[in-house]
Structure 1
């Protein structure tokens, strides 16, 4: 090697070393490092998602029901079998736990109270013979037969000591032990038993004793005097 070529060779060697160094800096990260970073990111996202879900409240799944429009202090309006009833109404039928009129075309002809020296324990609703009438609320038919002065008689137990009574029917359409809903037909208006014209005798009993039915029904959303009910308002 002569003196003139030595510096040139040194400069070429230095240039090659700098290029090699810059090339190493530009080399991509090894594949296993990339996969490790990707796995860490995925795991971190999953942890955040789980933490967020755990902090959310549980969905509200309480059954939606229609409550009575009122309550007497001495009357329990919710029967013990309420939880077993369906909360959805059938087409054209009110939902459970509402009270309705026994029929819609009638004339209020006699009130609750003393009559001819003795208690008249219900109200009389005059209507044409054969007019169908219905259960005013959901319950169990506990009597459906001839019953002395009541003639063809239906009684429905609604729970909580409350029983409704329907007298003087011309024909019975239900049977004892049957589960009925508000609006189910139970009999036809008639003039049987101790009756002086075609009508429905309607009573409400609390713990076996007749109570004034107009006020009771009004507190449950039904105005017998004005032929109205909140279930269809």
Structure 2
């Protein structure tokens, strides 16, 4: 689940990001520091965000001002040093209200609360793939020295992230840098063929040969190509992954 943090204290924002991402089911896709930046981000990308974390006092005003510029329908967890705005927070998509300085367990409880609400409102159903034709991306462009290389989607075994850089790996064990976020790549590749097994890897079904249990209820994949990191399906994705394999 994708999370946006709106927080003007960089240290607090980074700490919050670390705590949130301790749960493999959540990924902080960006941190913005102001009302202006939050509005600009939400106008473009709100459809791809599942949960918001809002500080209330930002450098350019109260975060409630954001609601005057964009319609927000995404749930919000307010995390602030002030206890004067709880009622207003509830009236503005707030599902929780955490006071700073916060503790790790308070953030995790809020995440669990969010997941519980989502599961109640959207009960899980078996994965089905639409029969309608969708124009998924068929080629990716990669730079090699001064040349641009065209890679067919059918030749790609998996995508990965290392040190915040995204790479494309072919079935011939060739590795190319690709200047796209993994979230974007996941959105433009056919979900019948590619699965996001964790925050770092998006894997082609054709490269999966078998899997085995891994610690903490995760599973480890055996692929037909070499990988720099062990391909591990995160615990919260295991059930979905097994359903996907059977489709």
State the TM bucket, normalised to the shorter chain. under 0.3
- TM-score if structure 2 supplies the norm length? 0.25
Higher relative contact order (CA 8 A, sep 6+): 1
Q: Whose radius of gyration is greater, 1 or 2? A: 1
More strand by share: 2
- TM-score if structure 1 supplies the norm length? 0.27
